[in-house]
Structure 1
């Protein structure tokens, strides 16, 4: 792909520079973490200061760069195989993170993440492209449970903090690695650390990967059979980090990064028809055999950012000022499909000449600033005081097209050129040593948030009448070569557009490049330019529903208009919301001995509220309030001697009170109050605070160094979730004959989506000397019990007519059965050279990580298929 030339060239320059340096003149920058060097001191920053993991009350799990590589975790989405209770999925380019069943599936401009992603401790509001930061790392930390006091914004479920490798003063070194694997994948990565005098150092790193997600195009009709499946990625990124420490008191660091994702995008596949036709559950179908048709899937995501930090030590306390700017520019054309293949399906009967599809565009420019003063570690009272400011400007566009729409519907557009979010907060947090063994901790944070949006949203609709006012001719839209205008529209003010000419002109302005066989402009162009108020009737086999003919207005029947032409355009979208809330935490820690700590604490967290789409005459609530989580937690952290070596056993129990919970619900958007009783003529999904849940569970962590140079790490999580309040419209049973109305269904007693009751990760490793070097191997086994992909939990569907179907019979199974994944790795190290082989998802489990469920929709987003390969790495 030509788009990758610049990235590959930059990487090759870096790696060639590395390779040109004589090995004998180099000192290792970072030695391999050998299996016999299992350090029981693991540093984390959960409390906004570096601490030994065993001194932190709460559950923080961290994986270093070497461990991630050995585990075969080269992709952010695979992090969940090593961290129980963590779920990460990719829906159409947006990374969604859930921790202990808490998160957010609303990835539009109206939503916010529920588990806050961070880069080097700085909040990232739009986690599109988050995986591009997954190289040259120091470690990754997952902090479970609400972090509302110290980390603040949208950390209701916890935080995921990607910490990159920092420059090192006075050291020259780096590494270079290259890899190749199955599914035609290959990649390279490298970094170099350069000291510039005694007080200044820089580090440059680069990354490139080309891989295939494992989907297969099973289409048989031309040209669809030549389409490249979804999930192909070609990504590259670079990072430059600078560190200046002119004195023992002052430290200044700057990190700049650039990355680009290209490929065929990350859409899911609709399994609804396959389930209905076969009666089979998804685990009995091959969900990666997709029947593609229409436009080629395409994705391009360009992102860059810079963050800086100034730290000054005043002696008894320190001060820190951080700032960050991030830019995201995302565009995707969904790889459209007719669902998946299934036994007995006649692929030759598929209408491959159907270009219905989805177009996405997201631009985000965000700024994050934080000022903090804090007591140094030798103080009896270790405190933090800080202020936080966040501002994000977004531009978003979405267009769903219905090619060959025969009556009254040709697409839906939501395009917002002006979306703003702003937040500021002030916080105080501290830990006080009552005695040498007893500590109290407490914190409080005040947050104020504002959001606003301006743009358009609603349907494109053309109702075009034939002879004798017969209904209706179709419109072809989105065929080969089509490109929408989206954010490049010349006008977003539709308040005064109410004439046929204005409506037609606005629809045409939504098109940047017409498709080769599109008919919309030819059909309504005459309305837009005023030459014919009924447009131009075109009678073509692919837009004729079989019994509609053009009105005989002239013998040639080429310039005659339709018998009627009714046009609908999106409406004006203006929304705003403002909320403030307080988060707090309080706790106690007691050291039973130098190696054993007991703790208990209570804490809160909030996820931002917002507003819904607006429609004239609708009954949709304008805003929805922030969600709130109140968590009680008790636990112990223990170190002890086992087999003559240090071991760790940590235990935690927790209870969550989840209130003001937001569920998506079908609500009337077009109420006709002239009728008695009033009649609703349309419904839409909206966000409403109509839910509540309770969650309780326990986690255990065991780390052992065993005889024979073996190591064993076990992490286990038990989770019980239950919805205690929530009645919503059942979108699975939406009845368009009744204006889109749906029956109500109670969710009480159901489990939260993506919450497995049991999740266990076990890693067994060993090393031994072999010849001139050292051989090591490891196996990472993860078991996850069954979970549901939606809040409906496979409840029966009771339609408005009173008919009842099981979710399977209706095409909506949403239970992912329990499964086990296995990652394997083996490596051989001689001095500064290492050769590794890895296998990720060795058992090739096919797993649904997310689902979109609605009328005739059961769209699945899957895990990565089995991958394996070889990697060579040189450190210097």
Structure 2
């Protein structure tokens, strides 16, 4: 959407973007104070063997610069210097380093889950459960979170509701991406290149340019090109024996000839930053980011292949699949200190275009109905996202008896989209029928707007030398509006790839909420902090396209979560840093999505249906970092979590039979009971300032479930390990590096999203697997399919600093 005039010079931002190409989106809105560019990780292992401890890291997670060991909240930090070394290229890789975080990808982009809190509606009318921020600017759609990570200062992962300082869409936490900013008076930069299996070619670089005593510029870029690892192969598929009214199953031979491998990576991004610092008290920064995300899209692996076959071979789908996304983002920030006060202003504009087509990789005879027809499903999506936001904050500069942060923010997102869901019939030769025969099943064509504003404040009082009391409030007002049409069940005369216009499908939901935080800190010694808090989160409500109780569009309410937390942070020994945290969530209203049935002249169609359910979550987490000696660092992070749905009845066939599946007492999806991250780094002195750095790491996870609420089935991902290793040669002064690495040594794929394709007998919900995929059953083979994690990846990385 167009700029509303609330922002600093957009023209200057556009000028900086010319001739640049890269990802990441903006800049640190928190304070103008400098951050620690050498910060290492508090959640991931140190990769450089240096003596710096996690407590030395300066973060701005609570809207002011402070040591991570002084922040009374559960926070993990990944250093920008270490991200490539430990194999972090996108947000999806964070789950391999930070316990309690699970991330999947689907048709609507990235979906982040922290401690079981997530978003189950990623469509344009849904809201995220985890706030994703780039340089302080909120990113509202999963598609927009897929940018590459490069030239970053650090990544902060906050766990637990952040309703006071962050507001909307932070029910379960926040992920803050902070990019590197220009530095006055310094000329230099770096370049990194990488080559690996799957023909992976990656590169990134940055240069800092001084422009006199008050100006500096930084130009950075990133390029990623990797072939897919899910390869279509010739496959014979057979339908249910119930097909053809009992006369026998349908079958076909599907050809993989000429089809590309899926789950590839193709993106390029450029970022330009300009710093203006006329005095120590005034800092202004403008950042422009432009980029492209492409490729052949995500594929899915069938349950049969994961359990018994080759998980890297998928069922071919002759329908083209592709990703075509482009974005331009502009971020303007002013930090002004006067006396003991600081004013922070942030303006941000985001423009994102998505023109993609997503196809399934399952059995075209998976309908489970007595028919001979086979077909492929595809999602053809066109979306234009325009976002404006502004935030103003004021805070005290020097610590004292009374510390405060107060501010207000405004957010406006407008989405114009058409989301075509087609059924492409299978021809008699096993190929595709003519596109004129393709049937449109669901097609919303609409404009959706999200408006939000908030007023917030948080104070910290120090009544005693070692005691601090925290109190915070935020008032948030949210509105969601949709104007458009919704076609279901096929529209006569509408053919691929055109918009299919159905009946009017307008919706509106307005919510307001006061969220709070109250806590107490006890700084027992300068190195030991104990804290306790109670806080609330907020995620706005929305509306269902069809509510069976009203027979039309109807709203649903906002989420409600209250978190109780106690923790410790400190250095009980000079070389040992420990953080520990215990929490209990009263998740009284969790937005959970299933399907309801929508009657149409062409038949009954299932559409997304959201309802609120009470959930309980509790757990403990801990991290330990031990500097064994100057050259060796050991890192351990552990997380135990238990979740339980208190009350939920769902399952789309319940709307026909009246017999809903009861999920009461079952755990939330993507929540393993136990996760451990272990790593060790060791440096060997080669003389003349050169070093050889060794790193080994492993993630250990217990089993968890993926839940299909619509079909009332749960699917189990078994326990697993995922291990990495690297050897890095570092020349004197870190002038250049050579690294040999391997990630996911086990070469196992884990289920991360889905499932899709279940059409077995209703009542398959057993707390375990769905109806078995065996020949002769009513459930055809190669039907149920999942999104999966990345396979073994190995290669070499070269880096140079100048």
Taking structure 2 as the reference length, the TM-score comes to 0.83
1:661 alignment partner, one of 587, 590, 595: 590
Aligned pairs for 1:297-696 within 5 A: 297-339=321-363, 356-404=377-425, 410-461=439-490, 504=493, 507=494, 511-512=497-498, 570-614=502-546, 619=551, 622-641=554-573, 645-670=574-599, 682=604, 684-696=606-618
Contact 1:420 1:451 in 2 (8 A): yes
Cα distance change, pair 741–858 in 1 and its aligned pair in 2 (3 A): farther
Shift of 1:267: 4.1
Contact 1:639 1:649 in 2 (8 A): yes
Cα distance change, pair 90–666 in 1 and its aligned pair in 2 (3 A): closer
Aligned residue number for residue 774 of structure 1? 691
Aligned residue number for residue 108 of structure 1? 123
Alpha-carbon distance in 2 for matches of 1:589, 1:356 = 55
Cα distance change, pair 512–875 in 1 and its aligned pair in 2 (3 A): same
Cα distance change, pair 688–90 in 1 and its aligned pair in 2 (3 A): closer
Shift of 1:684: 3.3
Cα distance change, pair 186–569 in 1 and its aligned pair in 2 (3 A): closer
Contact 1:327 1:363 in 2 (8 A): yes
Alpha-carbon distance in 1 for matches of 2:661, 2:438 = 28
The Cα offsets for residues 198-250 of structure 1, whole Å up to 9 and x where unpaired, read as 11111000110101341011126686421112212221000001111101211
Contact 1:235 1:262 in 2 (8 A): yes
SS of equivalent residue, structure 2 residue 307? helix
Cα distance change, pair 239–11 in 1 and its aligned pair in 2 (3 A): closer
Cα distance change, pair 201–752 in 1 and its aligned pair in 2 (3 A): same
* Pair 1:817-2:725 in alignment: no
Alpha-carbon distance in 1 for matches of 2:740, 2:260 = 28
* Pair 1:239-2:263 in alignment: no
Alpha-carbon distance in 1 for matches of 2:471, 2:292 = 42
SS of equivalent residue, structure 2 residue 279? coil
Contact 1:294 1:356 in 2 (8 A): no
Cα distance change, pair 31–852 in 1 and its aligned pair in 2 (3 A): closer
Cα distance change, pair 164–12 in 1 and its aligned pair in 2 (3 A): closer
2:667 alignment partner, one of 751, 775, 784: 751
Cα distance change, pair 352–828 in 1 and its aligned pair in 2 (3 A): farther
* Pair 1:787-2:678 in alignment: no
Alpha-carbon distance in 2 for matches of 1:579, 1:793 = 27
SS of equivalent residue, structure 1 residue 874? strand
Aligned residue number for residue 864 of structure 1? 790
- Larger fraction in helix: 1
SS of equivalent residue, structure 2 residue 624? strand
Shift of 1:58: 1.4
SS of equivalent residue, structure 1 residue 789? strand
Shift of 1:297: 1.3
Aligned residue number for residue 623 of structure 2? 701
- The root-mean-square deviation of aligned C-alpha atoms, in Å, is 3.0
1:763 alignment partner, one of 670, 674, 679: 679
Alpha-carbon distance in 1 for matches of 2:193, 2:81 = 15
* Pair 1:38-2:52 in alignment: yes
Taking structure 1 as the reference length, the TM-score comes to 0.76
Contact 2:233 2:255 in 1 (8 A): no
SS of equivalent residue, structure 2 residue 87? coil
SS of equivalent residue, structure 2 residue 464? coil
Contact 1:140 1:160 in 2 (8 A): yes
Contact 2:598 2:607 in 1 (8 A): no
Cα distance change, pair 336–720 in 1 and its aligned pair in 2 (3 A): closer
Aligned residue number for residue 216 of structure 1? 231
Alpha-carbon distance in 1 for matches of 2:373, 2:260 = 15
Shift of 1:868: 0.9
Q: Which has the larger radius of gyration?
A: 1
The Cα offsets for residues 419-474 of structure 1, whole Å up to 9 and x where unpaired, read as 11100000011111112110000100001111111222132537xxxxxxxxxxxx
Alpha-carbon distance in 2 for matches of 1:597, 1:241 = 37
Alpha-carbon distance in 2 for matches of 1:671, 1:443 = 50
Shift of 1:30: 7.1
Aligned residue number for residue 516 of structure 1? none
SS of equivalent residue, structure 2 residue 291? strand
Alpha-carbon distance in 1 for matches of 2:302, 2:120 = 18
Alpha-carbon distance in 2 for matches of 1:51, 1:617 = 51
Is there any run of 5+ residues in structure 2 with no aligned partner, and where? 1-17, 23-36, 41-46, 236-252, 366-371, 428-436, 760-782
Contact 2:276 2:283 in 1 (8 A): yes
Aligned residue number for residue 711 of structure 1? 633
- Larger fraction in strand: 2
Contact 1:154 1:608 in 2 (8 A): yes
Cα distance change, pair 694–415 in 1 and its aligned pair in 2 (3 A): same
Cα distance change, pair 178–690 in 1 and its aligned pair in 2 (3 A): closer
Alpha-carbon distance in 2 for matches of 1:852, 1:575 = 29
Cα distance change, pair 723–30 in 1 and its aligned pair in 2 (3 A): closer
Alpha-carbon distance in 1 for matches of 2:594, 2:189 = 53
The Cα offsets for residues 88-144 of structure 1, whole Å up to 9 and x where unpaired, read as 111125110000010112111121110110001211111314232411111101000
Alpha-carbon distance in 2 for matches of 1:102, 1:855 = 25
Aligned residue number for residue 487 of structure 1? none
The Cα offsets for residues 559-611 of structure 1, whole Å up to 9 and x where unpaired, read as xxxxxxxxx96322111111111110000001111111111100000112111
Shift of 1:666: 3.7
Out of 616-625 and 132-141, give the one that drifted further.
616-625
Alpha-carbon distance in 1 for matches of 2:552, 2:596 = 6
Alpha-carbon distance in 1 for matches of 2:566, 2:362 = 50
Contact 1:409 1:460 in 2 (8 A): no
Shift of 1:328: 1.1
Aligned pairs for 1:260-271 within 5 A: 260-269=292-301, 271=303
Is there any run of 5+ residues in structure 1 with no aligned partner, and where? 1-8, 14-28, 276-281, 342-350, 463-502, 514-567, 673-679, 798-811
The Cα offsets for residues 694-745 of structure 1, whole Å up to 9 and x where unpaired, read as 011001110100036210111111101011111112x4xx49xxx9657301
SS of equivalent residue, structure 1 residue 433? strand
Aligned pairs for 1:246-257 within 5 A: 246-257=278-289
Contact 1:780 1:822 in 2 (8 A): yes
Shift of 1:291: 1.4
Contact 2:108 2:122 in 1 (8 A): no
Shift of 1:269: 4.3
SS of equivalent residue, structure 2 residue 83? helix
The Cα offsets for residues 666-715 of structure 1, whole Å up to 9 and x where unpaired, read as 4353499xxxxxxx974634434331110110011101000362101111
Cα distance change, pair 99–340 in 1 and its aligned pair in 2 (3 A): farther
